[in-house]
């Protein structure tokens, strides 16, 4: 099992300098990878740094000893795939081939300050599939023509077409794509921080069954990144939930040998929710990468202290 670091792009982490310092510490402490959140807005009084600019700084400040970097999870349905393709190519060059891309719907929806965003998970899911189709074509470096499939057109507001020239250069190598999916936990009280001073609950629709579509989507790519919902840094997914993730992703059998199953949690610090001795159970369940995640509201020094403990030996 491989071990990396995963930190927010907000709160005390919400600056290019803070993110870069943590990435350099992760490299010096022997972690294999470094990933950051990709939020645009959480609360009016909370600092947020642009994830792609922060990743560019990380790529420039670290070496090949830090083997993988990326953002988890970019809400691709809210981005222009042609612009994301340019960002990916530039970051892959700057990082010398270390980029991992992670995509999903984005949870929770953050753009309630505008009526210009898609207003349902179904529509965002259709837009995500559109964007994944287009992103692969833009990254191929070939010219192409594309039309939105009919079944998606009915969900998202009509037909759409793209006729694009070759986008060059193409990224080398092509970065892997990991897809996020939510594991909904019934009976868990939500505790999403949206203000530095208050905890505002994030309601989860309990009328729907556990969705399988995000996990089946992940099976078409190179990895899956499940997230427990409601989000709680103090309650990471369990080994049994990782087993459930794999079953949702590959209901007819196990994953390919090179498929990544990734989760985050914390083993460092006196109040760590996961013991180092528990990690063997995660590996037995099928986990391939554990991302150490300092507390959401940790100070910069507190996060550094956890990262400098280094990966499990």
Q: With respect to residue 53, please indicate whether it lies within any of the assigned structural domains.
A: no
d(CA 305, CA 302): 5
Q: With respect to residue 10, please indicate whether it lies within any of the assigned structural domains.
A: no
Q: With respect to residue 40, please indicate whether it lies within any of the assigned structural domains.
A: no
Domain span at residue 147 reads 70-307
**Residue 231 to residues 9, 188, 202, 204, 261, Cα–Cα distance (Å):** 16, 10, 9, 10, 18
d(CA 190, CA 174): 37
- 19 φ, ψ (degrees, to nearest 5): -60, -45
Peptide bond connecting 302 to the previous residue in cis, omega within 30 degrees of 0: no
Predicted TM-score (pTM) of the model is 0.93
Q: With respect to residue 56, please indicate whether it lies within any of the assigned structural domains.
A: no
CATH number for the domain harbouring residue 74: 3.20.20.30
Tokens describing residue 249: 């992703």
Residue with tokens 């949870």: 107
Q: What does each of the 313 residues of the chain score in pLDDT, given as a tens digit?
A: 999 999 999 999 999 999 999 999 999 999 999 999 999 988 888 999 999 999 999 999 999 999 999 999 999 999 999 999 999 999 999 999 999 999 998 765 566 677 788 888 889 999 999 999 999 999 999 999 999 999 999 999 899 999 999 999 999 999 999 999 999 986 554 444 333 443 333 444 444 578 999 999 999 999 999 999 888 989 999 999 999 999 999 999 999 999 999 999 999 988 999 999 999 999 999 999 999 999 999 999 999 999 999 999 8
Q: With respect to residue 16, please indicate whether it lies within any of the assigned structural domains.
A: no
Q: With respect to residue 153, please indicate whether it lies within any of the assigned structural domains.
A: yes
């Amino acid at each position: 099992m491989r071990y990396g670091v995963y930190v927010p792009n907000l709160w005390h982490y919400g600056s290019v300098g803070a993110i870069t310092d943590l990435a350099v510490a992760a490299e010096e402490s022997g972690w294999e990878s470094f990933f950051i959140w990709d939020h645009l807005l959480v609360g009016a009084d909370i600092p947020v740094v642009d994830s792609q600019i922060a990743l560019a700084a990380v790529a420039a400040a670290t070496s090949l000893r830090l083997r993988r970097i990326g953002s988890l999870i970019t809400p691709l349905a809210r981005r222009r795939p042609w612009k994301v393709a340019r960002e990916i190519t530039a970051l892959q060059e700057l990082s010398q081939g270390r980029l991992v891309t992670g995509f999903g719907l984005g949870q929770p929806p953050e753009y309630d300050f505008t009526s210009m965003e898609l207003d349902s998970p179904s529509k965002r899911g259709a837009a995500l599939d559109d964007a994944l189709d287009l992103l692969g074509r833009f990254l191929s470096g070939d010219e192409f023509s594309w039309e939105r499939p009919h079944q998606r057109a009915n969900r998202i507001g009509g037909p759409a077409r793209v006729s694009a020239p070759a986008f060059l250069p193409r990224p080398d190598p092509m970065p892997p794509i990991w897809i996020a999916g939510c594991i909904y936990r019934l009976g868990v009280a939500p505790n999403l921080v949206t203000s530095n001073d208050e905890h505002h609950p994030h309601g989860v629709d309990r009328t729907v069954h556990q969705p399988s579509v995000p996990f089946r989507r992940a099976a078409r790519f190179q990895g899956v990144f499940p997230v427990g919902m409601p989000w709680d840094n103090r309650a990471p997914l369990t080994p049994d939930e990782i087993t459930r993730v794999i079953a949702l992703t590959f209901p007819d059998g196990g994953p390919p040998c090179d498929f990544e199953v990734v989760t985050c949690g914390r083993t460092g610090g006196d109040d760590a929710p996961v013991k180092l001795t528990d990690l063997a159970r995660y590996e037995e369940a099928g986990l391939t990468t554990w991302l150490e995640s300092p507390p959401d509201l940790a100070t910069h020094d507190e996060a550094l202290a956890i990262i400098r403990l280094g990966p499990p030996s």
